[in-house]
């Protein structure tokens, strides 16, 4: 159990200590205290570097001292021969003796007490980001006005997070801008616009002054934007290093401004506005868009009309046009629909004639009907050519959709009747 003070005596003290002894003491005082260890008697076999018999003082695994020989107080008013002070609350003392035939030694007597440590000044590492307050057995950190102590009870920061901007246009700046921003802070802002608008951030280069990057390019203080799946930044330096206009393609944007303890600068100021999400003006084949605009934005509706000979097929229904709406995600609805050539199907057969099987029966395809010559002829001379028309029918210039007729050839015998003269 930690104690506030204690005594350590070598074996058999004040009698001579035995040979071949190794004995250690683990000293522990309450946390927040250091240890004052002092020796009032030292009578240990002397040797070079105390190589034979010794008492070692070890703190944190490091030997802080090693004693041997006979020591006496240097001050007549004090019994203390040797003393140590440690800002830690644990210490190990190890006594070692080897075999010796020489005269006998009485060992050592030492005492320790818990002493107060000034955590604010006794250590290299500063325990508090701002104000350090020492008290007996501990310390506490405190913060300047407008700052608050973080949960780690050591660091102070400003309360700069939580602002949510929903207006379609606005301005955001770092705390205290244009005065130096607070150190050791993490400011998180949110821009949340209604669906269908994308956040567009505009920044003046001179409105940005953040502690520049180190030699490895890491920003000690940084401004970062995050939208959907993309991140812009981190940015730092004197003058905004990123694009002066950032189109996020998202209606929400997270802004994080992170600072460390050092090097506060002027900070930054940005403007944003909501830009209606635009949908790309796609050049869909074989169709016309109405209205035809250079730019389409959220909620715009276009009527896409297939050009002659093309149709859009949805399930079993075909039509010559369809509607598409610019959606909040910048995509067109019904984008899967396409104008495709009208299909005229397999041409109907005719009696006493034939039609060649077309490779495809789509708009513009031309087929030819023929009659079974020489016994039939086509009723209309130019009636054999049909074209797959925009209405999905096979159409002839003369007959329209009517099929050609093959008429029997009359009056032509296969073999002429030869009258034999007698």
The verdict on 403 binding other proteins (CB under 8 A) reads yes
Judged by CB under 8 A, the residue of 268, 376, 386, 394 near other proteins is 376
* Cα 393 from Cα 361, distance rounded (Å): 10
Task: Return the number of the residue (280 or 349) whose C-beta is nearest other proteins.
Answer: 349
User: Closer to other proteins at the Cβ: 148 or 375?
Assistant: 375
Q: What is the DSSP letter of 362?
A: B
366 binds other proteins (CB under 8 A): no
Whether 330 and 279 have beta carbons less than 8 Å apart is answered as yes
Out of 350, 355, 389, 395, the only residue in the binding site for other proteins (CB under 8 A) is 350
> Residues binding other proteins: what is the number (CB under 8 A)?
21
Q: Please, which residues bridge with residue 90 across strands?
A: 28
Q: How far is the CB of 408 from other proteins (least distance, A)?
A: 5
Q: Is 369 in the site for other proteins (CB under 8 A)?
A: no
Measured from the CB atom, is 20 or 381 closer to other proteins? 381
Handedness of CA 408, 409, 414, 419 (dihedral sign): positive
Phi and psi, residue 167, nearest 5°: -70, 150
Q: Say if residue 91 is exposed, middle or buried (CB neighbours under 10 Å; 0-12, 13-18, 19+).
A: buried
Least separation in angstroms between residue 404's CB and other proteins is 9
| Closest C-alpha among 30, 40, 34 to residue 8 | 40
Binding mask 292-331 for other proteins (x = CB under 8 A): ----------------------------------------
Q: Which stretch binds other proteins (CB under 8 A): 188-196, 210-218, 234-242, 344-352?
A: 344-352
What is the spatial distance between Cα 268 and Cα 389, in angstroms, rounded to a whole number?
A: 65
Q: Is 60 in the site for other proteins (CB under 8 A)?
A: no
Q: Does residue 381 bind other proteins (CB under 8 A)?
A: no
- Which burial class, exposed, middle or buried, applies to 400 when counting CB atoms under 10 A from its CB (0-12, 13-18, 19+)? exposed
Asked if 351 interacts with other proteins (CB under 8 A), we say: yes
If the CB atoms of residues 203 and 371 are measured against other proteins, the closer one turns out to be: 371
Q: Is 169 in the site for other proteins (CB under 8 A)?
A: no
Beta strands in 29-125 (DSSP E): 33-44, 54-59, 62-67, 69-71, 82-86, 90-97, 107-116
Which of 130, 405 has the CB closer to other proteins?
A: 405
Do residues 207 and 220 make contact, with C-beta atoms less than 8 angstroms apart?
no
Please give the structure tokens belonging to residue 363: 């708009």
Rounded CA-CA distance 245/275 in Å is: 12
Nearer to other proteins, 169 or 407 (CB): 407
Would you say 290 or 373 has its CB closer to other proteins?
Answer: 373
Q: Nearest-CA neighbor of 181 among 111, 261, 114, 124? A: 261
**Which of 327, 352, 370, 391 is close enough to bind other proteins by CB under 8 A?**
352
Q: Which is nearer to other proteins, 156 or 406 (CB)?
A: 406
**Least separation in angstroms between CB 392 and other proteins:** 21
> Does residue 420 interact with other proteins by CB under 8 A?
yes
Among 22, 316, 359, 417, binds other proteins (CB under 8 A): 417
Judged by beta carbon, residue 22 or residue 412, the one nearer other proteins is 412
Among 299, 331, 375, 382, indicate the residue that binds other proteins (CB under 8 A): 375
Query: From start to end of 219-348, where are the E strands?
Result: 222-227, 230-235, 237-238, 245-247, 252-258, 267-276, 278-279, 287-290, 296-297, 301-306, 310-314, 317-319, 321-325, 340-341
Residue number, 77 or 414, with CB nearest to other proteins = 414
Residue 409 engages other proteins in binding (rule: CB under 8 A): yes
Q: Which residues contact 329 (CB under 8 A, 6 or more apart)?
A: 277
Tell me the closest approach of the beta carbon of residue 376 to other proteins, in angstroms. Answer: 6
User: What does the binding site for other proteins look like in residue numbers (CB under 8 A)?
Assistant: 350-352, 372, 375-376, 403, 405, 407-417, 419-420
């Amino acid at each position: 159990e930690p104690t506030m003070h204690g005594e350590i005596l070598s074996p058999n003290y004040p009698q001579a200590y035995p040979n071949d002894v190794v004995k250690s003491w683990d000293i522990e005082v309450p946390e927040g205290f250091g240890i004052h260890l002092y020796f009032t008697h030292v009578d240990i076999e002397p040797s070079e570097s105390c190589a034979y018999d010794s008492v070692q003082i070890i703190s944190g695994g490091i030997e802080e001292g090693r004693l041997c020989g006979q020591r006496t107080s240097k001050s007549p008013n004090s019994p203390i021969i040797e003393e140590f002070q440690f800002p830690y609350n644990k210490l190990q003392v190890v006594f070692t003796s080897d075999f010796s035939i020489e005269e006998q030694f009485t060992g050592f007597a030492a005492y320790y007490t818990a002493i107060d440590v000034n955590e604010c000044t006794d250590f290299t590492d500063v325990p508090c980001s701002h104000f350090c307050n020492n008290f007996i057995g501990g310390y506490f950190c405190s913060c300047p006005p407008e700052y608050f102590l973080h949960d780690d009870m050591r660091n102070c920061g400003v309360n700069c997070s939580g602002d949510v901007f929903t207006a379609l246009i606005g301005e955001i700046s770092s705390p205290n801008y244009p005065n130096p921003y607070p150190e050791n802070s993490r400011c998180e802002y949110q821009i949340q616009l209604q669906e269908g608008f994308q956040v567009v951030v505009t920044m003046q280069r001179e409105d940005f002054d953040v502690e520049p990057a180190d030699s490895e390019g890491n920003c000690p203080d940084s401004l970062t934007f995050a939208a959907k799946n993309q991140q812009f930044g981190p940015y730092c330096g004197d003058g905004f290093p990123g694009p002066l206009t950032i189109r996020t393609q998202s209606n929400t944007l997270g802004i994080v401004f992170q600072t460390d303890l050092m090097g506060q600068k002027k900070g930054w100021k940005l403007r944003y506005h909501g830009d209606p999400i635009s949908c790309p003006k796609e050049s869909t084949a074989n169709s016309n868009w109405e209205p035809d605009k250079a730019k389409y934005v959220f909620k715009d509706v276009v009527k896409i009309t297939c050009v002659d000979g093309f149709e859009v097929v949805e399930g079993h229904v075909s039509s010559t046009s369809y509607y598409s709406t610019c959606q909040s995600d910048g995509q067109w609805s019904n984008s899967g629909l396409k104008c495709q050539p009208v299909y005229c199907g397999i041409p109907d057969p005719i009696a006493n004639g034939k039609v060649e099987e077309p490779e495809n029966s789509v708009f513009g395809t031309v087929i030819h009907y023929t009659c079974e010559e020489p016994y039939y002829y086509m009723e209309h001379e130019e009636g054999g050519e049909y074209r797959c028309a925009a209405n999905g029918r096979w159409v002839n210039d003369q007959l329209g959709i009517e099929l050609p007729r093959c008429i029997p050839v009359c009056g032509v015998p296969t073999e002429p009747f030869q009258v034999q003269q007698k």
